[in-house]
Amino acid sequence: MQNIHTLLTAKTIVPVEPENTVLQDHSIAINNGRIVDICPAKQAAQLYTPQSHFEYEHHILMPGLINAHTHAAMALLRGVASDMPLMQWLQEHIWPIEQQWVNEQFVQDGSELAIAEMLRGGITCFSDMYFYPEVTARVASAIGMRAVIGMIVLEFPTMYASSPDEYLSKGLALYDRYKSDPLISNVFAPHAPYTVSDATFAKLNSYANELDTAIHMHVHETRDEIETSIKEHNKRPLARLDDLGIVSPDLLAVHMTQLLPEEIERVAEAGVTVVHCPQSNLKLASGFCPVQELKQHNTRVIIGTDSCASNDDLNMFAELKIAALLAKGVSRDATAFTAQQSIRAATIDAAQALGIADETGSLQVNKSADVIAVRCDSVESQPMYDLFGHLAYSTDRSRVTDVFVAGRQLLRDRSLTSVSEDEIITKAKRWKENISSNHG
């Protein structure tokens, strides 16, 4: 018998790949953080001697969810300004607060809070865009969370950098620092077309091509963004980005609520990935991402929560449900975004878009053991006719009991193992008191 670190045995396993596969009474054998075998439980008992054996008789095991767009540290601004449109929200509340309060300690404490929330909700990887990205990378790596950290770029000075060149320089230093870290990878993260100049885009695109790195950016989020671009550049943002050579398979375009039919065709032709953030779009009244039309054109659509400031939670089970239901309602087509499609959008499709599909996104031999256990024996879980429909439409993040990232257990029976929840809550309350006393 082979000695291994961990064996997970479950009544039901949803590996995501191959598609439409459900394994009954199987085990996942894990050694050195990677999946070495997935086989019937009886066979596993004869083949492996594990140091730890977890038996999940009342659970579904599945890949950890991937939050494809967030601003993790903004968890400290959860609900700070509600019920207003994007630009008013940004200009009158978020940007002034950030200018006064955001520093390395803010990003450290906010990232810890966000990662704790995400782990408790079954998220094992997140793609982030925020100031002091090296701090978020450090926190994620220390806790054991997988992360794709955005090398942020803006045209104007902030507390983090004084010029576009400094943003780029700091981003490249971050890339060099973490290029060998098994949990951390990087993408360029220019904020949006309206906050980055043509010259900076040209430099950034050159670096992205040289490093073979994706570009993660807010695009076509609101009608105001479109109108401003036409006024200042005499073209819509997507057309401007296309002229700059950025519309390509390396572009992760976040939001995309304002798309003309010909733009949908161009996005599909170029191989762009669209990152859909339905709850944030709804709260800020930004519009609706045309998911059905994008899917009909074979465009990859993945899912993100956006930040707690514009969404109020980092709940990917809620997000994938809303994504599926909203697509149906907007298109008046019940097949527009199915349960399986929404689950894939939050797992393997996101991993492929982020360039980490060799590591995560599905439960397969040789991949990293990023696994979550979802309890399904409660009143709210019964009866269960359609497993994928249950995961997409009935499952709540509170049913996630255990989380493993690279084979390391980070959540055990709803309790975090690598960070103190009490300390995180205490620090969050302290930030709230400070910010509230200075911002009405």
**Residue 189 Rama label (left phi>0; alpha psi -120 to 50; beta):** beta
* pLDDT score of 203 more than 70: yes
Mean pLDDT of all residues in 212-224: 97
pLDDT given for residue 438 in this prediction: 76
Residues in CB range of 327: below 8 A, 6 or more apart: 291, 292, 336, 337
Which of 82-86, 247-251, 310-314 is predicted least confidently? 82-86
pLDDT given for residue 366 in this prediction: 98
pLDDT given for residue 86 in this prediction: 79
Q: Quick check: 407 and 48 in contact, CB under 8 A?
A: no
Tens digits of per-residue pLDDT, 325-342? 999 999 999 999 999 999
* pLDDT score of 268 more than 80: yes
> Quick check: pTM over 0.95?
yes
> CATH class for domain 65-353?
alpha beta
Q: Which phi and psi (to 5°) does residue 213 adopt?
A: -120, 140
Residue 11 — very low, low, confident or very high, per pLDDT cuts 50/70/90? very high
Residues in CB range of 101: below 8 A, 6 or more apart: 431, 434, 435
Mean pLDDT of all residues in 112-138: 98
Mean pLDDT of all residues in 200-225: 97
pLDDT given for residue 248 in this prediction: 98
CATH architecture classification, 2-63+368-406? Roll (2.30)
Mean pLDDT of all residues in 181-203: 98
pLDDT given for residue 91 in this prediction: 87
pLDDT given for residue 41 in this prediction: 98
* pLDDT score of 131 more than 60: yes
Mean pLDDT of all residues in 85-104: 89
In the chain, where are the structural domains located?
Answer: 2-63+368-406, 65-353
pLDDT given for residue 440 in this prediction: 56
Mean pLDDT of all residues in 364-382: 96
Residues in CB range of 8: below 8 A, 6 or more apart: 27, 28, 30, 54, 56, 61, 371, 373, 404
Tens digits of per-residue pLDDT, 153-169? 999 999 999 999 999 99
